[in-house]
Structure 1
Amino acid sequence: MKGIPIAGVRNFALMGHTGSGKTSLLDVMLNILGANDRIGSVDDKTSMADWTPEEQEHQISIFAKPFDGVYTAASGKQRRFVITDTPGYADFIGQLICAAETSDAALMVVDAVSGIQVGTNRAWKVCEQRNLPRGIVINGLDKDDADFDKALAAIKALWGDSRCVPVVLPTTDGKAEIDLLNTPTDQVPEDLAATVKAIRDHLIELAAETDDALMEKYFEGEELTADEFSDGLRKSVHEAHLIPVFACSAKSHVGVKETMDSISRLFPSPEDYPIKCADGHEVATGESEPFAGIVRRSVNDPFVGQLSFVRVYRGTLRPNTEVFNATKGEKERIGSILFVNGKKQTDCQEAKAGDVVAIPKLKNTFLNDTLCAVGDDTVFKPIEFPNPVAAYAVEPKTKGDEDKIGMALQRAAEEDPSIRVERNTETHETILWGMGDMHLDVTLEHIKHRSKVDIDHHTPKVAYKETITVSGEGHYKHKKQSGGRGQYGECYVRIRPKNSADEEGFVNAIVGGAIPGNFIPACQKGFAEGMSKGPLVGAEVSNVVVELYDGSYHDVDSSEVAFKIAGSRALHEAIENARPVLLEPIMSVKVMVPDEFMGDINGILNTKRGRILGMGQEDGLQVIEADVPQVEMFKFCSELRSITSGQGSFEMAFSRYEQVASNIAQKVISAAQKEKEEAH
């Protein structure tokens, strides 16, 4: 925004547990920034932040959305606030990660009654992994049973007593807030004077520790100047040695301005430190540098079309200019640029470092693409997202909507980086992957609202495989005569389990021209066809070696078709003679839960035929690593959250295929045969 230098920009993300008051706090901040005429309410569905149909229906934040405005601090200086509201619900962690990666700091919201909750811990872990500067606001001090001191003690105990320091304190009557950085000593209430002095002394020490010269000055008993104190605190926040704690009551509008004043003074600006590129080198972020930014989200607006949200990291971006997509190696034409505040969209004449702006109708630019000035080749490291852990098999309710559903699912995956869509060629199902049942349900609701497509879903089928346990032989003679030219082809095959020494899965052992060379490829096609559907459940047959060792042909009646049929039938007989078994996919699972749930989780993993591989600790949580059959994991996400009251989480990745126990295999085979009979 014109008139405000990059040094005056504060780009931060609001994070915390669902229900901690993030959105209410944001609505008040936006009112102070002049972005809304009146303060909205989540309960009344008038919040400027939670405005989408899905968010209003569920009354939670679902999408990470940027907001901005100009704030005049107590010092009289103007600051540009760029605030990203993030969801606190576990299923939408991809949105949280995206905001953390493209913000300069985070403001963690902790409820004054409930204290630190699982969503707060999750957000904190995301920030710690990225060493993101952050502050904490204890919100809701006007509630019954609210206790600032208790919440502060819990924060200090968990995240560090010496670095979590209150800089906005509530008065003893709870009706006002004291900004320790701006309130003169003679205006501090007498009953808080000693507390305020002790905190200020500690802040001075933290500021001095950021610089050797300041430390020497501090030890010699000299006072730090106002600029030295302020600069030292900002550096301490940037290095996460100081995590300022603020007190406020968003619903009664107490302490919000004091919190914003402290953010203005303490949080870093985009030019305070260089940005790392994908190759590891750092680039300066000054206004005079060539433009560079990364696409952090791509959405399809019903009125504008595709909108690419770009976090500007350096330089200045203006409308009607040409930029270079360094990720794709292509040029893009920038038409208009928009500032987006909820539903409101306003034209932007220039965007600087720290800004998050929306660019309509880019042709070939999507999430994680780097845009930069023409002639530049800066590429930023792409944002990485966790693997999805929950899945639905989806299909249109109405026949004829196949094309529409394909496009709608593709759009959903482009807009939400933690959604994945795949076509399972073995089960012939379209699979929608996400971070949990709520995530998948909301995605389907979003598709219905936007694309007008109703989608049915069910638990996906498991992509079983079949293999053999011993060697076996098979033979088939295909002979058909129905007037005119007939069909003739005969194959003898041996099949055995494949081992590490086998480079090929096919051995041609024909001697003496029993089968002419020109028919061998047809036999191989027959083998491939036979391997695509095994005799147990019609699954792919894997890890076998097929040897074609004998056969016969007819000078006139033999053909490629005849040998393809003979090869397929001979192979099936060989597989049936080689004691075929069923294989199932095994997933590597990492479960993280508080101590008190260890027994329950170990028990449920055992009932799911899981094999516990190890246990340990990570970030204050117990970690269980196990191998579990995929078929047992489809409902685990909801089960885990139910057992742990939302405090547990897990990661999952495909590991390998293993033989299914005979009693389980028989049930699977019987179900497959029944389904086949019903289909006919």
Structure 2
Amino acid sequence: MRSPSLARLQSRAVSGLTRSARFQPQTLLRQRCASTAALRSAAVAPAYQSKLGQWDQRRNASAAASAVLEAAKANPDGLSQAAIIDNLDPVEAARLDKCRNIGIAAHIDSGKTTCTERVLFYTGRIKAIHEVRGRDSVGAKMDSMDLEREKGITIQSAATFCDWVKKDKEGVNHKYHLNLIDTPGHIDFTIEVERALRVLDGAVMILCAVSGVQSQTITVDRQMRRYNVPRISFVNKMDRMGANPFKAVDQINTKLKMPAAAVQVPIGTEDEFEGVVDLIRMKALYNVGSSGEEIMEKDEIPEKVKALAEERRSMLIETLADVDDEIAEMFLDEVTPSEDQIRAAIRRSTIGLKFTPVFMGSALANKSVQPMLDGVIDFLPNPSEVENLALDQKRDEASVKLVPYNSLPFVGLAFKLEESNFGQLTYIRVYQGTLRKGSNVFNARNNKKVKVPRIVRMHSNEMEEVSEIGAGEICAVFGIECASGDTFTDGQLGYSMSSMFVPEPVISLSIKPKQSKDAANFSKAMARFQREDPTFRVTYDSESDQTIISGMGELHLDIYVERMRREYRVDCETGQPQVAYRETIGHRVEFDHLLKKQSGGPGEYARVMGWMEPTGALEENKFEQQVVGGSISEKFLYACEKGFNLSCDKGPLIGHKVLGTRMVINDGATHMTDSSEMSFKNATQQAFRKAFAESQPSVLEPLMKTVVTAPTEFQGDVIGLLNKRGATINDTETGVDEFTIYADCSLNGMFGFSTNLRAATQGKGEYTMEFSHYEKAPPQMQKELIAKYLKAQADRHKK
């Protein structure tokens, strides 16, 4: 039998030790090392000692991490993020330090997907650049749906991953792993932005160099603040006519109320945009190569921008002095901070949500995207630097800090569901522990145990199989039935995490398949879309015998109707869009209602007393019981609350939901044999209708925050269009070539507005709408709505 070579034995010994060392007691590990000593050359010995040292570090760090977890349970407020980081396993800390979970978000047509395409190309994830709208019959990688490529918009958030190699000051390359989510810009698909930002550690906010901060930029800013997501900003489209990056910087400060300063200045603008000056290192950066794949650095800054660079560098330091104590002290002492001190201050302030550095470039022109990627690494947090909390169900929902350590019990959040050819695909962010293929996990919502048959990492619509995913990473799994926002654990912990914010739908329409044979596919599509998108609602109106779909806007519902035709081959008939009106009480009304039916056999008896009144804000309704002396038992009061909720689901005026109403029951009476839960539920509903009618109730209509942008020559025509629709114009901004109008508009008056706007502006105008608030509808509109509802009710009763 042939003897293995010494080199092969050495290799096997070292690799075997690497794979299994952590599973062996230390004494056995040392015995194994001694038993193979004769086979090792002197050069190999240090490798063994290194492995032993790593094993000791891992053992000690594992114990330290467990101690950190116990400390987090006992006193989450007293455990700093720095303490968590300091006690991480050095190997794990190094892995997490090289990881970034980021999203790209912006206003419509700011260049999010174009920028993402360049990121994927420059990181080597894709081999060629393709453009949005699929002009080259391929389309951008992250827009995988045919509808996205045809319309040139992102409809669904898409996840991918890539590796970016960044050089340090000494010229040494360091590889960083990026998990990246590209999000839609249209307000109708805002849930995609919500769920992405819920699980990401940082974000790139893209702005147009011409338009600056726009309506959806403000919405994205609000969403980032909701989930405490640090961001860097990237002013895109620097090669466009009218580009003014410093207007965007000023607007971040003034409109978004976020301290911001440029960390770059452009070398030329519009057609003459060549590159940027890095204000931290004071170097000129240019892209070279057919697709800008290489960055050329020059120490010499062009004379034409030298003064501007010096001025903007001073402004950067001044802005940092306002948000960072270390720079503030240096500023007061008139000491100029070094490059490292500036970079550290930007990182501290950005992660602390006190500052956003502003980069500049043109993704379409393949210029200055790589420096922005360096900014992601330098200034956005790794998973261990972000505080993530869970609620411990075993300790009255006490807050607990999660520690991104692989050996701790698993905790993950399902943030997105998607149908695929292989079944339901569930996207999961792993916050703590490790998710392994074949392992069992528990759904914290229903405590149901499920096995994980398959784990993949997503690259848009492509998949890469993996056997496990560690803490701080994002993956997708098959074979798990759950809802968006569910928390999963390995069963050791009773933790649950907060889900994302889900806005209420503002528009509805009736829908049915044109052919009855398509009913099964129609139902299947409705169930799937509703499961995937929390803002898409499906209800059945028994009175009109219609299926009603509700969503965030006309485009939102149109996309689902079109997807039903393409993906399920179901052609549908839709009714006219209907506004999601609301009803509310006028003033306080007291009630004393008796329900009594005793005509032989089981009767009904329930008496409820109390009052109804406005809550003071058009928000959720409230039910309270102030019964003393036991005149109504607990189970009957529960039935009263159920009756109140049913009444609020369908108001007496026009059959829409009731808002801002409070009902208090403080007394009542029961009968020994004839009282029941049904009796008290019915009595409460009757009392509600009577009191509501006496309170001078109102119909509420949704007002939409509307932003219209068009060339300056069409300003008068656009204002006329808005006035015809009863809009309240709040502000107007006029630029060199275009103007922007901010207005509150009734949603009812905005149907068909896009067609009118295109006609009035020769196709050059655009607008966005976002739900603002509910307000009383005009009296005449209220009368018409009530009359229409009563007539429809009477017609149904005749049938």
TM range (shorter): 0.7 to 0.9
Q: 1:621 to 1:646 in 2, by over 3 A?
A: closer
Cα distance change, pair 10–673 in 1 and its aligned pair in 2 (3 A):
same
- The aligned residue for residue 762 of structure 2 is none
Moved more, 10-19 or 113-122: 113-122
CA distance in 2, matches of 1:652, 1:9: 40
- Identify the residue that residue 346 of structure 1 maps to in structure 2: 464
**Quick check: 2:390–2:497 contact (8 Å CA) kept in 1?**
yes
Matches within 5 A, 1:408-423: 408-423=525-540
Q: Is the 8 A contact 2:92 2:405 kept in 1?
A: no
Match of 2:771 in 1: 650
Residue 352 and residue 33 in structure 1: after superposition, are their counterparts in 2 closer, same or farther (change >3 A)?
A: farther
Amino acid at match of 1:262: G
Alignment of 1:216-615 (within 5 A): 216=329, 219-220=332-333, 228-278=341-391, 279=397, 280-301=399-420, 303-362=421-480, 364-459=481-576, 500-504=590-594, 506-508=595-597, 517-518=600-601, 586-587=699-700, 589-593=702-706, 604=725
Question: For residue 49 of structure 2, what is the aligned residue in structure 1?
Answer: none
Aligned to 1:550: none
1:127 aligns with 2:210: no
1:59 matches 2:152: yes
- Quote how far apart the aligned CAs of 1:419 are: 0.8
The Cα offsets for residues 588-611 of structure 1, whole Å up to 9 and x where unpaired, read as: 5344346999998787459xxxxx
Structure 1 residue 115 corresponds to structure 2 residue 233:
no
Q: 1:102 to 1:599 in 2, by over 3 A?
A: farther
Question: How far off is 1:122 after superposition?
Answer: 2.3
SS of the equivalent of 1:447 reads helix
Q: Which one of 31, 47, 50 corresponds to residue 143 of structure 2?
A: 50
Structure 1 CA distance, aligned partners of 2:448 and 2:775? 35
Amino acid at match of 1:232: A
For the structure 1 residues 654 and 334, does the alpha-carbon distance in structure 2 shift closer, same or farther, using more than 3 Å as the test? farther
Tell me, in whole angstroms, the C-alpha distance in 1 between the residues paired with 2:578 and 2:506.
15
| Structure 1 residue 294 displacement after superposition | 0.9
Structure 1 residue 205, shift from structure 2 partner? 5.8
Answer whether contact 2:581 2:702 (CA < 8 A) is retained.
no
Letter in 1 for 2:205: M
Q: Name the aligned partner's letter for residue 352 of structure 1.
A: G
Q: 368-377 or 397-406: which moved more?
A: 397-406
**What corresponds to 1:82 in structure 2?**
179
2:267 match: 171
Letter of the structure 2 residue corresponding to residue 403 of structure 1: A
Unmatched tracts of structure 1, length 5 or more = 466-498, 522-531, 543-579, 607-611, 626-631
Name the count of aligned residue pairs: 569
Letter in 2 for 1:261: D
**Which residue type is aligned with residue 159 of structure 2?**
P
Which one has the bigger helix percentage? 2
Distance 1:150 1:406, change over 3 A: same
Conserved in 2, the CA contact under 8 Å of 1:233 and 1:242? yes
Partner Cα separation in structure 2 for residue 150 and residue 210 of structure 1: 21
Structure 2 vs 1, CA of residues 666 and 233 (structure 1 numbering), >3 Å: closer, same or farther?
closer
The sequence identity of aligned pairs, in percent, is 23
Map 1:64-75 → 2, pairs under 5 A: 64-75=157-168
Flag the 1:638–1:282 CA change in 2: closer, same or farther, 3 A: farther
Q: Deviations over 1:519-550 (max 9, x none)?
A: 868xxxxxxxxxx9xxx99999x9xxxxxxxx
Is this contact kept in 1: 2:506–2:580, CA < 8 A?
no
Q: Which runs of 5+ in 2 are unaligned?
A: 1-90, 285-298, 392-396, 583-588, 605-646, 659-692, 709-714, 732-739, 758-764
Aligned to 1:31: 121
- After TM superposition, the score normalised by the length of structure 2 is 0.62
How far 1:300 moved relative to its partner?
0.5
Change (3 A) 1:95 1:641: farther
In structure 1, C-alpha distance between the alignment counterparts of 2:785 and 2:499, rounded to whole Å = 43
One-letter code aligned to 1:285: P
CA distance 1:448–1:356, change in 2 (3 Å): farther
Contact 2:218/2:256, CA 8 A, preserved across alignment: no
- SS of corresponding position for 2:601: helix
2:400 and 2:485 map into 1 onto residues whose CA distance is 18
Q: Could you give the per-residue CA deviations for residues 134-161 of structure 1, whole angstroms, max 9, x where no partner exists?
A: 1211112233443434444444443458
8 A contact 2:187–2:768 mirrored in 1:
no
Q: Which has the higher contact order (CA 8 A, sep 6+)?
A: 1
**Alpha-carbon displacement from aligned partner over 1:19-47 (angstroms, at most 9, x marks no partner):** 11111111010011222111111132421
Q: Structure 1, residues 80-109: CA drift from partner, whole Å, max 9, x if none? A: 111111111121111111122222122121
Partner deviation per Cα, 1:211-258 (whole Å, 9 max, x = no partner): 656655665566766655433321101123221111111122110111
Larger displacement relative to structure 2 (226-235 or 332-341): 226-235
RMSD: 4.3
Q: How far apart, in 1, do the equivalents of 2:208 and 2:274 lie?
A: 17
In the alignment, residue 308 of structure 1 is paired with which amino acid?
T
TM-score (structure 1 length as normaliser): 0.72
Separation in 2, partners of 1:587, 1:187: 63
